Amino acid sequence: MKKTKTYKSDALAALHETMSDLYASGGIDKKTMLEFDESCLTSVQELSAAEIKAIREREAVSQTVFALYLNVSKESVSQWERGQKKPAGTTLKLLSLVKKKGLASIA
């Protein structure tokens, strides 16, 4: 299964694809490719319980609806908002996107 990458913009996606091809053909080294990864891809930051709740409330959705968008249980969203657990991996990436671009960005 191929991982999909989330870019900051369409222009950066095109640039990154070109640089990936250059890397594959030996035109640039691994260090340069990693630098392009960092500059083009959407960054992921840990979110506090209050930040997660604020994101959901800004989007004006219930915990149940928010959970459906993120493909997690309502209980997970509740635990994140109470600080009992923290989102990780793909879910954290989705939350970062929602924080920056809104819920419509993952709909």
Q: Both tokens of residue 71?
A: 């493909």
Question: 49-106: what fold?
Answer: 434 Repressor (Amino-terminal Domain) (1.10.260)
10-69 tens-digit pLDDT: 787 788 788 888 889 998 898 888 887 777 776 678 999 999 999 999 999 999 999 999
- At 70-103, the pLDDT tens digits run 999 999 999 999 999 999 888 998 998 899 889 9
Contact 73, 67 (CB under 8 A): yes
Q: Where are the domains of the chain?
A: 10-40, 49-106
**Whether the model pTM is above 0.85:** no
Beta bridge partners of 7: 41
